[in-house]
């Protein structure tokens, strides 16, 4: 299968945000959530605040 990008379903987005402890308010309004295929499907979300991303830590 060739690389591909498509929309991320609302159910998948809810799962991703839940796992990350985020809400839709954390998403950048100019970039729609998507999923990309390059061997495996991966969710793509762009956050509106770099500090939120930098705040992620390993458990």
Q: pLDDT tens across 1-57, in order? A: 789 999 999 999 999 999 999 999 999 999 999 999 999 999 999 999 999 999 988
Which DSSP helix (H) or strand (E) runs through 14?
helix 10-20
Q: What is the pLDDT of residue 14?
A: 98
**Is the pLDDT confidence value at 59 over 90?**
no
Residue 49: the pLDDT is: 96
**How far is the CA of 35 from the CAs of 3, 13, 17, 21, 43, in angstroms?**
11, 10, 14, 19, 4
Please name the residue that has the structure tokens 């839709």.
24
């Amino acid at each position: 299968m060739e690389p591909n990008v498509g929309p991320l379903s609302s159910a998948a987005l809810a799962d991703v945000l839940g796992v990350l402890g985020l809400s839709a308010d954390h998403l950048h309004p100019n970039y729609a959530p998507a999923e990309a295929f390059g061997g495996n499907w991966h969710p793509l979300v762009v956050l509106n605040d770099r500090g939120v991303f930098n705040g992620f830590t390993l458990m």
